[in-house]
Structure 1
Amino acid sequence: MSDLGPLRYFLGIEVSSTSDGFFISQEKYIQDLLARAALTDERIVETPMELNVHLRATDGDPLPDPTRYRHLVGSLVYLAVTHPDISYPVHILSQFVSAPTSVHYSHLLRVLRYLQGTISHRLFFPSSSSLQLQAYADATWASDPSDRRSLSAYCVFLGGSLIAWKTKKQIAVSRSSAEAELRAMALLTAEVTWLRWLLQDFGVSVTTPTLLLSDSTGAISIAHDPVKHELTKHIGVDAFYVRAAVQDQVIALQYVPSELQLADFPTKAQTRAQHGFYLSKLSVVPPP
């Protein structure tokens, strides 16, 4: 083992530190990606995806050579480890890598133009942050037009630092929005449980329940109330799992208004104002 000094660059991820905290980014990685994409102009957009777009496999004409599409989407997947702002469009675009079309490729170019305008944005981890976990869970019910499956998303903070986020299509069709939200809670509960174990391995005391915030009063009620749980047996093990975590004081459920639900960010496209609001809350910031 050799001491290589302070961490600066590792696997395409750039790290810089100040007295206020740490910044991580992938600016050089984005520059290389844009060069490989060979964009013919320098147009930029302020959001990575248009509002109310529901892509289907049959949209547009098949690409004669899907190699470039697959390569660029694969690169975006890795870029998303420091850019939660592209989590949703990358999730959508990656579903079409087997047979991409001209429409899918045009939306991929929009993501690249967004990155062209936000190339210097960085994820900030404040040094004054506490060591308490706080998590947000959200879902969009029946959002996929092809199979009507819902989308789960979450983000987890350690104090004021965003340390985990995910967008994932649910494996079963939910019959109500509360059911979709409960499945998103179960996904997040598993992540929180693992993070609590990890913090304990690092010597960080984790004695209080992790606050899990949701904007679904129905899902919160099902997780708390065994009577209502009996009326929703078709949900399967997710209701049992979340309720057991509440009883074991692993998590504590709390309602949060939809406009303050940070996990809404990776579940759908946002307006320009909403996008800017969420970026500030997730500490995705331009250079000072």
Structure 2
Amino acid sequence: MIQRCLFSLLLVDALFFFLYVDDMIITGDDPEYIAFVKACLRDQFLMTDLGPLRYFLGIEVSSNSDGFFIFQEKYIQDLLARAALGDERTVETPMELNVKLRPTDGDPLPDPTRYRHLVGSLVYLAVTHPDISYPIHILSQFVSAPTTVHYSHLLRVLRYLRGTVTRRLFFPRSSSLQLQCYSDATWVSDPTDRRSLSAYCVFLGGSLIAWKTKKQTAVSRSSVEAELRAMALLIAEVTWLR
């Protein structure tokens, strides 16, 4: 019988705890220990057991014998309803190739509130949609003073989501623990400050676990330098993950 338990903070990540039961670290998915952990938490906090995770903060979770799916289908549908697009068109890509947006493109929006609201919602949607990470990084740079051109590109992202609303991230139950990493970079893609963009994605086995698009902190004097900066950003992420 379990006599006592002690949760200890994992030093490398403040979101994780070890469970010590009678001076032993407990791991795995044993239903008895899961029930015991819930009982310990109920003794300390006011909480309700809602059963297996299905929906949390706009993120939906489903599973089958092969693995787990994470998606935000309802969130996208609600977002499209709030955007009130005037047509039912869809597009194949979230942004056109080789687009270089400037702060002075187009006419200033008389009321930028809608633009800011939609971009903010899309930033959260990128939690489960890495395919919109790049366009959202670009469009979020103009939230202080958006124009009609910026807004038209924002609507394109929404039309892309309308056609891909059922796409999901899949995490297989059985997969290797080998990290596979990919990085890429643009070169002087921002016409205003001439800085490049770094991007990467990291897989743990067959599961996509990390991705990012970020403007580089300095101007790269060649495409090779831009690629090396992107690789350095990825190496820092992999070092932390390991």
TM-score (normalizing by structure 2)? 0.79
- Whole-angstrom CA distance in 2 between matches of 1:104 and 1:88: 14
Q: Is the aligned partner of 1:104 residue 2:104?
A: no
The DSSP-based 3-state class of the residue aligned with 1:109 is: helix
Counting aligned pairs with the same residue, the percent is 89
- Whole-angstrom CA distance in 2 between matches of 1:45 and 1:176: 33
- Whole-angstrom CA distance in 2 between matches of 1:52 and 1:182: 21
Of 84, 87, 90, which residue of structure 2 is paired with 1:41? 87
Q: Which has the higher contact order (CA 8 A, sep 6+)?
A: 1
1:215 is aligned to none
Of 143, 155, 176, which residue of structure 2 is paired with 1:130? 176
2:136 is aligned to 90
Of 70, 82, 91, which residue of structure 1 is paired with 2:116? 70
The DSSP-based 3-state class of the residue aligned with 1:155 is: strand
Report matched runs for 1:130-169 at 5 Å: 130-169=176-215
Deviations 1:165-218 (A, max 9, x none): 00000010011112111111111111111111xxxxxxxxxxxxxxxxxxxxxx
Structure with higher helix content? 1
Q: Is the aligned partner of 1:27 residue 2:73?
A: yes
- Whole-angstrom CA distance in 2 between matches of 1:67 and 1:162: 33
- Whole-angstrom CA distance in 2 between matches of 1:153 and 1:9: 29
1:82 maps to a residue whose letter is: T
Of 116, 126, 143, which residue of structure 1 is paired with 2:162? 116
CA RMSD of aligned residues (A): 0.9
- Whole-angstrom CA distance in 2 between matches of 1:51 and 1:83: 19
- Whole-angstrom CA distance in 2 between matches of 1:34 and 1:89: 17
Q: Whose Rg is larger? A: 2
Q: Is the aligned partner of 1:12 residue 2:58?
A: yes
Structure 1 portions without partners, runs of 5+: 197-288
4+ residue segments displaced more than 3 Å: none
Structure 2 portions without partners, runs of 5+: 1-40, 42-47
The DSSP-based 3-state class of the residue aligned with 1:165 is: strand
